[in-house]
Amino acid sequence: MVFSIFRKQSLEQKRISTIIVSFPFLVATSVLLYRRLFLGEEQKRMPRPGEPGANMPMLSGGMGEGERGGEFGSMPEELQRRIREEEKRSGRI
């Protein structure tokens, strides 16, 4: 079993492992809260259905077909066509 390694750890080893795993989450969360509370940065939010920008296509960078000249950059034409077809099929455009 894959997790059998963790069963053989002592209590001290389990505590250290927990600290090692949880510390990056603690730091990242602290930085985000500091920015929001003390620097006044706004929380990023997803648009709700019905709001402007809520049903923007994800794969083509949020622009409709032809609105932007090189929306796919140097992507091959065939792949661009397949992406557009998939977006239309899924109802994103």
For residue 17, give every residue at least 6 positions away whose Cβ sits within 8 Å of its Cβ, in sequence order, or none: 6, 9
pLDDT of residue 74 exceeding 80, the answer is no
DSSP class of residue 65 equals T
Report pLDDT for 22: 97
Contact 59, 83 (CB under 8 A): yes
From residue 29, give the alpha-carbon distance in Å to each of 26, 35, 43, 61: 5, 10, 13, 28
Report pLDDT for 65: 47
Question: Average pLDDT in the 21-41 region?
Answer: 94
Question: Average pLDDT in the 67-79 region?
Answer: 67
User: 61 vs 32, which has greater pLDDT?
Assistant: 32
Report pLDDT for 76: 80
Rounded Cα–Cα distance for residues 65 and 56 (Å): 12
Distance separating the N- and C-terminal Cα atoms of the chain:
46
